[in-house]
Amino acid sequence: MSKFSKDFVFGTATSSYQIEGGYDQGGRSLSIWDTFSETPGKVWNDDHGQVACDHFNRYKEDIQLIKELGVGSYRFSIAWPRIFPEQGVYNEEGMDFYRSIIQELIKQGIKPVVTLYHWDLPMWAYNKGGWVNRESVDWFLEFAEVCFRELDPYVESWITHNEPWCASFLSYHMGHHAPGHRNIEEGVKAAHHILLSHGKAVELLKKDLGSKTPIGITLNLTPVYAPTTSTNDKIAINNADGYTNRWFLDPLFKGAYPMDMMNLFSSYIHDYSFIHEGDLATISVECDFFGINYYNRSLVEFAGSEKFLFTDAHSDYDKTGMGWDVSPQEFKELIYRLRMEYTKLPIFITENGSAYDDVLEEDGSVHDKERTAYMEKHIQAVCELENEGMNIAGYYLWSLLDNFEWAFGYEKRFGIFYVDFNTQQRYWKDSAKRYKEIVANRSVQKQAVK
């Protein structure tokens, strides 16, 4: 039986657009996800987040579930269009909503971890160029400053951005997420401005406002493997890793973009002058912790016809309902690599979880065996890492509730609580019951991680 240390934090996580609904309540304006979801064919079944889990109106009930789960911490995000529905126009009512959430969490003994940006960019900002426009850094700072001023005394820790890779490359280059653009130069510029806004927000909180509240950023990291050790497959690994991981890790921890990737991108980006002197020093500002969202490894192979010379390879691993490899051992290898190459900061696993097809039984039970097994394997891996002295400070299960899974709409269920989207009734899945046990015992049954 592996045991977690007494300070290890267990939590669960959500994000604003995925659960809140209340899209026209409390003075909120539209975000890029409202507009993207309205465009036919962009989201599965043309689903949208107008109601989602109706958390805007049911947050107390949801916090009660978190309390019953027994976790010590809850990670959620703030919808920027609730706080600034128009450029420069602060909406107190929007802030009141988050004040109420935080008060309720504290009342129930749960520590609030707040993410500033989890992808719901206001439409007014998009209409001015979104993250491709360098001015987005100032707009973000105005938003960050008011959140810091109003909420900092009650917040356990701040996360500036969730998964900049998704908010930039997946959204502006690959086009799968809002705003759905397909332009590599836009993707790289958006990534740069997001990272820059992170660095400036950290400086704002620490230096200008003199706060001691811990602050960091969360990256989604995907360790990359290939089926062979051929030179070509090594190139594939290198480029896939550069595109997904190093483009974000290197500026944050080494103060430089990876040169090989700059060269690779240079067929499409002729001018890197959007990177100003001093930007990388700002981006690599010292944080208090590092957040990682881990779901799966990736398997790639060389493909001479692809822009960046790699493509997905066939993998025979067990898959989640997203088609993602179940790969806890590779998660451990990722952490070893981060410790060797990048950072000594405490690491929080700010998301980990899985989607599977759930069946709600007549008696209200959901026997989600595969999700439970996935969770146990990954928590086991975290526990081993913690016991090996890898300084893993906490684990947040994604997600509290079934919710709006972006381009997959409500088709993919990641929750440990089942949501009936017709009635808004929540049901305990077996995974939630199991997580409650693990949290209470602060241990998970020892089994070989594979």
- Complex with ligand IFM: residue 258 or 291, whichever CB lies closer: 291
Q: Is 414 in the site for ligand IFM (CB under 6 A)?
A: yes
Q: Which of 398, 410, 427, 435 binds ligand IFM (CB under 6 A)?
A: 398
Selected catalytic residue, list 351, 376, 384, 386 = 351
Check residue 276 and give left, alpha or beta (phi > 0: left; psi -120 to 50: alpha). Answer: beta
- Complex with ligand IFM: residue 358 or 405, whichever CB lies closer: 405
Q: Is 12 helix (H, G, I), strand (E, B) or coil?
A: strand
**In this structure, which amino acid lies at residue 215?**
I
Reported as type and span, the H/E element at residue 312 is: strand 310-312
Please give the residues from 155 up to 174 whose contact with ligand IFM meets the rule CB under 6 A.
163
- Complex with ligand IFM: residue 18 or 327, whichever CB lies closer: 18
DSSP character at residue 423: T
Would you call 20 a catalytic residue per the annotation? no
| Shortest distance, position 1 Cβ to ligand IFM, whole Å | 30
| Shortest distance, position 220 Cβ to ligand IFM, whole Å | 6
- Complex with ligand IFM: residue 119 or 289, whichever CB lies closer: 119
The 18-37 contact track toward ligand IFM, x by CB under 6 A, reads: x-------------------
The 275-304 contact track toward ligand IFM, x by CB under 6 A, reads: ------------------x-----------
Selected catalytic residue, list 150, 163, 301, 384 = 163
Q: Is 402 in the site for ligand IFM (CB under 6 A)?
A: no
Handedness of CA 53, 327, 384, 449 (dihedral sign): positive
| Shortest distance, position 291 Cβ to ligand IFM, whole Å | 11
Chain length of the chain: 450
| Shortest distance, position 375 Cβ to ligand IFM, whole Å | 14
Q: Which residues pair with 89 in a beta bridge?
A: 86
- Complex with ligand IFM: residue 206 or 297, whichever CB lies closer: 297
| Shortest distance, position 405 Cβ to ligand IFM, whole Å | 5
Instruction: Give the total of residues touching ligand IFM (CB under 6 A).
Output: 8
- Complex with ligand IFM: residue 28 or 75, whichever CB lies closer: 75
- Pairwise CA distance, residues 291 & 296, whole Å: 16
The 1-20 contact track toward ligand IFM, x by CB under 6 A, reads: --------------x--x--
Asked if 386 and 8 touch (Cβ cutoff 8 Å), the reply is yes
- Complex with ligand IFM: residue 398 or 410, whichever CB lies closer: 398
3-state helix, strand, coil split of the chain in percent (to 5) is 45, 15, 40
- Complex with ligand IFM: residue 302 or 398, whichever CB lies closer: 398
Q: Which residues pair with 3 in a beta bridge?
A: 443
Q: Is 370 in the site for ligand IFM (CB under 6 A)?
A: no
Label each residue of 75-134 as H, E or C: EEECCHHHHCCECCECCHHHHHHHHHHHHHHHHCCCEEEEEEECCCCEHHHHHCCHHHCC
- Pairwise CA distance, residues 424 & 209, whole Å: 40
| Shortest distance, position 415 Cβ to ligand IFM, whole Å | 10
Q: Is 405 in the site for ligand IFM (CB under 6 A)?
A: yes
The token pair at 173 is 């280059």
Backbone angles phi, psi at 401, to 5 degrees: -120, 150
Asked if 158 and 348 touch (Cβ cutoff 8 Å), the reply is no
Reported as type and span, the H/E element at residue 335 is: helix 328-341
Q: Is 197 in the site for ligand IFM (CB under 6 A)?
A: no
| Shortest distance, position 406 Cβ to ligand IFM, whole Å | 6
- Pairwise CA distance, residues 428 & 136, whole Å: 41
Would you call 330 a catalytic residue per the annotation? no
The 327-356 contact track toward ligand IFM, x by CB under 6 A, reads: ------------------------x-----
- Pairwise CA distance, residues 265 & 185, whole Å: 8
| Shortest distance, position 350 Cβ to ligand IFM, whole Å | 9
User: CA-CA-CA-CA torsion for 100, 103, 108, 112, nearest 10 degrees?
Assistant: 100
Give the number of other CB atoms < 10 A from CB of residue 355.
24
- Pairwise CA distance, residues 32 & 442, whole Å: 40
Catalytic residues: 163, 351
> Would you tell me which residues interact with ligand IFM (CB under 6 A)?
15, 18, 163, 293, 351, 398, 405, 414
